[in-house]
């Protein structure tokens, strides 16, 4: 067993309220921690640090928990810059472009899918992300959904079956047949590679009863529920998520008072995706109403080629601070501990004894620089399970 002392930390945001200044950020100054076998063994003031086998000097940098990006669609082929350009010229976002990506993804080889996901993951690591959830949903046939999840499972244990993303074109005249496929054969083929079941519960995707069927089938197959909902308009997604005790309901740009009441009574986290609202030029969610109601909020990228071709959690934090009026501390907690809660994990998203030694060291004296210097590469080092992640951008 080898213990490494990480020291010379100007500001340590543990995201554990019982540590440091006992704020939600659990801030410590002139701090240090010890990692042993990939886990945090001790956290405190540098001057109190016990002996360790090795020592890493962080030169006064601020350190934050590695970002937990709890909502991505990382395995796909192609790109949709023309659609983005049209949107910026005034076209609305409807989700209609999903089938463009489905066509490209079906045509791509598994090696191509793997290479694209790996390139995007390298960008994520470079910007401080240490855990990433990955959804399927750009295959929408049995073989491609399964291939996507096989690739996703090579990169993460947080994989999600989203065969119910939209009804693919070839089933437009027979939704029921697609519902049977997605809750039957496709689910059976994909469940071994997935931890979560997801459904896009929205006008134009799946309605309430269809969504219930998808989630119930996934749960019966041993998967845990999460929901895409309330993105393009008011709808049943949020309340459905609470009824199923889903780990998270994601997007939530449109929430009614009743939705807020239901969410405040349940354990479902609301995952906000400001990069999707930015990239689709749609209305920003009311994060303040959620926080004021005591609802746990997570922030994630939603990385996908249509609504948010974004890999950077620091950019998401900056957007949340500017557009959601979250404080830099609230946004950092949502991007770390909040993401962990959205994956029902307590071993990540915090830097406390027993947690995974996943962290980002910033070229900055304070976590505030994540929002204060948007667009700049503020993250200088990413460490996962106590080992530095060396990011080599593939050719």
Residue ranges binding ligand NIG (CB under 6 A): 95, 97-98, 101, 200, 228, 231, 276, 302, 304, 306-307
Taking CB atoms, the residue at the shortest distance from Fe ion is: 302
Smallest separation, CB 96 to ligand NIG (Å): 8
Question: Which letter does DSSP use for residue 247 in this model?
Answer: S
Burial class (CB in 10 A: 0-12, 13-18, 19+), 336: buried
Q: Based on the shown chain and the rule CB under 5 A, indicate whether residue 302 belongs to the binding site for Fe ion.
A: yes
Q: 103 vs 86, 139, 140, CA distance in Å? A: 20, 8, 10
Q: 6 vs 42, 57, 218, 351, CA distance in Å? A: 10, 6, 42, 12
Smallest separation, CB 301 to Fe ion (Å): 9
Which one, 33 or 93, has the nearer CB to Fe ion? 93
Which one, 101 or 356, has the nearer CB to ligand NIG? 101
4 binds, among Fe ion, ligand NIG, none (CB under 5 to 8 A by kind): none
Q: Does residue 149 sit in helix, strand or coil?
A: helix
Which one, 33 or 178, has the nearer CB to ligand NIG? 178
Smallest separation, CB 251 to ligand NIG (Å): 7
Nearest residue to 45 via CA among 33, 60, 61, 63: 33
Taking CB atoms, the residue at the shortest distance from ligand NIG is: 306
DSSP 179-225: HHHHHTHHHHHHGGG-SEEEEEESTTSB-HHHHHHHHHHHHHTTPEE
- Which region, judged by CB under 5 A, interacts with Fe ion, from 101-109, 208-216, 298-306, 383-391? 298-306
279 binds, among Fe ion, ligand NIG, none (CB under 5 to 8 A by kind): none
Smallest separation, CB 142 to ligand NIG (Å): 20
Which one, 121 or 303, has the nearer CB to ligand NIG? 303
Q: 107 vs 73, 87, 100, 187, 217, CA distance in Å? A: 17, 26, 11, 21, 28
Smallest separation, CB 300 to ligand NIG (Å): 10
Give the C-alpha separation, 148 to 114, whole Å: 9
Question: Which letter does DSSP use for residue 308 in this model?
Answer: B
DSSP 69-87: E-----------HHHHHHH
Smallest separation, CB 192 to ligand NIG (Å): 24
Only one residue has tokens 């999903």, namely 98
Smallest separation, CB 271 to ligand NIG (Å): 10
199 binds, among ligand NIG, Fe ion, none (CB under 5 to 8 A by kind): none
Q: Based on the shown chain and the rule CB under 5 A, indicate whether residue 330 belongs to the binding site for Fe ion.
A: no
Backbone torsion region of residue 386, taken as left when φ is above 0, otherwise alpha when ψ lies between -120 and 50, otherwise beta: left
Q: Based on the shown chain and the rule CB under 5 A, indicate whether residue 259 belongs to the binding site for Fe ion.
A: no
Which one, 95 or 128, has the nearer CB to ligand NIG? 95
Which one, 160 or 239, has the nearer CB to ligand NIG? 160
Which one, 133 or 358, has the nearer CB to ligand NIG? 133
200 binds, among Fe ion, ligand NIG, none (CB under 5 to 8 A by kind): ligand NIG
Smallest separation, CB 206 to Fe ion (Å): 14
Which one, 227 or 360, has the nearer CB to Fe ion? 227
Give the C-alpha separation, 178 to 188, whole Å: 14
Tokens of 148: 């996507």
DSSP 337-372: IIHHHHTT-SSSSS-STTSB--EEEESSSSTTHHHH
Interface contacts to Fe ion, rule CB under 5 A: 302
């Amino acid at each position: 067993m080898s213990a490494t002392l990480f020291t010379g930390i100007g500001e340590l945001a543990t995201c554990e309220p019982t540590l440091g200044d006992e704020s939600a950020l659990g801030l410590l100054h002139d701090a240090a921690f010890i990692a042993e076998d990939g886990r945090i063994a001790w956290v405190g003031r540098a001057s109190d640090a016990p002996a360790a086998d090795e020592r890493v000097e962080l030169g006064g940098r601020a350190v934050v928990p590695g970002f937990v990006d709890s909502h991505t669609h990382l395995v796909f082929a192609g790109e949709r810059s023309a659609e983005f350009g049209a949107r910026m010229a005034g076209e609305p976002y409807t989700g209609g472009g999903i089938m463009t990506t489905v066509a490209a993804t079906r045509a791509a080889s598994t090696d191509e899918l793997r290479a694209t996901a790996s390139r995007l993951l390298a960008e994520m690591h470079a910007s401080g992300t240490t855990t990433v959830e990955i959804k399927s949903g750009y295959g929408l046939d049995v073989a491609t959904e399964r291939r996507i999840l096989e690739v996703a499972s090579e990169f993460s244990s947080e994989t999600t079956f989203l065969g119910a993303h939209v009804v693919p074109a070839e089933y437009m005249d027979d939704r029921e047949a697609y519902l049977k496929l997605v809750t039957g054969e496709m689910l059976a083929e994909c469940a071994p590679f997935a931890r979560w079941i997801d459904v896009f519960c929205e006008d134009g995707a799946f309605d309430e009863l269809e969504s219930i069927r998808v989630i119930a089938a996934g749960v019966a197959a041993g998967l845990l529920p999460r929901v895409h909902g309330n993105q393009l308009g008011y709808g049943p997604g949020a309340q459905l998520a609470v009824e199923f005790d889903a780990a998270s309901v994601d997007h939530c740009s449109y929430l009614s008072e009743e939705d807020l009441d239901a969410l405040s009574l349940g354990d479902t986290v609301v995952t906000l995706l400001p990069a999707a609202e930015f990239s689709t030029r749609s209305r920003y969610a009311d994060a303040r109403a959620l926080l004021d109601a005591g609802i746990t909020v997570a922030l994630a990228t939603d990385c996908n080629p249509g609504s948010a071709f974004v890999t950077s959690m620091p950019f998401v934090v900056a957007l949340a601070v500017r557009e959601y009026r979250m404080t830099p501390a609230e946004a950092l907690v949502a991007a770390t501990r909040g993401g962990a809660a959205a994956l029902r994990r307590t071993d990540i998203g915090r830097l406390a004894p027993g947690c995974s030694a996943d962290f980002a060291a910033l070229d900055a004296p304070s976590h505030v620089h994540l929002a204060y210097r948007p667009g700049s590469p503020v993250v200088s080092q990413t460490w996962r399970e106590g080992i530095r992640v060396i990011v080599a951008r593939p050719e």
